[in-house]
Amino acid sequence: MVAATHHMYSKMAVGFGFSAKKTSNLIQVLGIDSGNAQVRVASMQADTSIAGDWRPSGAALLNVASTRLHQLVVASGFDGTYALGLGSDGNIYRLGTQLHEDSWQSGGGILQNSTTFSPVCGISAALGNSSEVFAISNVDYSAWVAAYHNEGEVGWNPGFVLPGGKVSNFMWVGARPDLSEKAVVHAIGLNLRGNPYEIAVQSGSGVGSQTWSAGVGELGDQERPYSLLLLITGDSQQTFHVIGMGQDGSVWDVDQYSATASTPAWSKKSVQIAPSGTISTHNPIFDYVLDQKANVYLITQEATPKGEMQLVQFASLVGDSWKQTSSVIPASRTTSYWSVVTNLAAGTSTSSPSPSFILGLSHTTGHIYELAYTADGVNWTKGQTNAISA
């Protein structure tokens, strides 16, 4: 049973953490309280239920009263989960920590002091050989590992400029591992002209700056500017994809990295997935979900003839070919911001699926909702009507 909601949120972040049963990879939902800018654990999962089994929390984390937080990130590591925030002062803050237990502890303040980072460009996190957070420098728009945390360490280490990170002025950097045996991490950037780059790669051993080397640079055919990038770790062919939204709202498979080929490499070929206007350039959001066979389904929101917003699955990658689709996802309501997250704790077999959820933040009510969920990545069920946040 969902408790009555009390807090209104202005921002939301989702990631993985732990339950009282010591089950890992259960979804954690954080939010910034719009009333007092307090960061809170809005909700968390108690088990691997396909329907969610959300437990509203409302627990307060570190309150950064001296600055406005522009972004929240949940960074899940080998030995804990960290709530990180990027302030308007360019500093990254550790707002809270969850170490293999149900409860969160308030964080420890500024995460690093190497430089300050651009609040406009935001931050992202990836799990490679260590827990790493990525950001763009406020000084020269270079791409950084802003800070990293090694397994077994108490604190975080100051970051460094990524090899290749000064090649061009960047407006975004993100990183994901591929599905090769060594799980090589690819740091992908988007520069101010809208050109995507592989900035750097991280090898499969060791931690820190010594394990990163410069990437190949320009990706795809470089014929069009992009506004957003989405990184997909691997499909049914174990291929790493960089998906881009063109500045006209079109969607492209910008480039593909075959991690398990005899000679792993980027194809350098860009493939159009959907035409101009597919994604709203006014409020651009798109995400993806995988089915049990690792086929990829892309999701966005679109306006109905009546002007109402609805979630739609607009493309699928089955095997090695993209196909345009138009399947409306039944949702409990519409929200101004949403994100797809998969509960990895449930497993990946057909008999033990990993349910995926679309969670959304309504700027009208300030509450966070479970919009829809799926057990197989294809067939969606409308989520619960009540808010899942406390």
Q: Taking phi first (over 0 means left), then psi (-120 to 50 degrees means alpha), and beta for anything else, what does residue 183 get?
A: left
Share of the chain above pLDDT 90, in %: 63
Mean pLDDT of 5-31: 85
Q: How many residues make up the chain in this entry?
A: 390
Taking each continuous run of H as one helix and of E as one strand, the counts in the chain are 0, 29
At 128, the pLDDT band (50, 70, 90 cuts) reads: low
Whether the predicted pLDDT of 311 surpasses 60: yes
Whether the predicted pLDDT of 351 surpasses 60: no
Task: Retrieve residue 322's tokens.
Answer: 């993209």
Assigned fold of 9-286: Neuraminidase (2.120.10)
Mean pLDDT of 369-384: 94
- pLDDT of 349 reads 45
Task: Tell me if 121 sits within 8 A of 170, measured CB to CB.
Answer: yes
- pLDDT of 348 reads 47
Q: What is the pTM of this model?
A: 0.93
Task: Retrieve residue 28's tokens.
Answer: 């954690």
Dihedral of the alpha carbons of 270, 275, 279, 281, in degrees to the nearest 10: 90
Of the listed ranges 103-107, 186-190, 274-278, 368-372, the one predicted with least confidence = 103-107
Whether the predicted pLDDT of 65 surpasses 60: yes
| Backbone angles phi and psi of 69, in degrees to 5 | -80, 125
Mean pLDDT of 126-153: 86
d(CA 212, CA 141): 19
Residue 351 CB coordination number (10 Å): 6
